[in-house]
Amino acid sequence: MQEVIQISTDKPDGLFDITNQVEKIVNKSKITSGFANVYVQGATAAIMIQENWDQSVQTDVLNLLKKLIPPGIWLHDHQDNNGDAHLKAGIVGPSETIPIIDGKLGLSTWQNIFVCEFDGPRNIRNVIVTLFNSNE
């Protein structure tokens, strides 16, 4: 089973929680044991599993990446001024795979699924959710 989640992002850099949308797809699937792969399309976005309870964690992630990969110093900036966004997305990565256990995402209490936007705002970011049923 495969579905697309579409989100819009409203800032240049941010983490956008899509856990509820992925949970709805898993619930609809009736899969009790398997995997959910969550993949974002685009070379300047990524998927991350991170804490959602405390907003400071998300801010810390963005601040760390800004310190490690500052804007305005990369060769690709001569093309479209987003070299840092490409590098951040490459380091974080475009996907995460989460186990489905007893029909639910196998996330811990504090884990949520985020689209990481590094080149926003964007009207549409497509996130492909692919479910694998291990009972088949």
What does the pLDDT read at residue 135? 81
Nearest residue to 122 (alpha-carbon basis) of 42, 48, 66: 42
What does the pLDDT read at residue 51? 94
What does the pLDDT read at residue 81? 92
- Going 84 to 87 to 92 to 96, the CA torsion angle's sign is positive
pTM for this prediction: 0.95
How confident is the chain (136 residues) per 10-residue block, as mean pLDDT?
A: 97 97 98 98 98 92 97 92 97 98 97 98 98 89
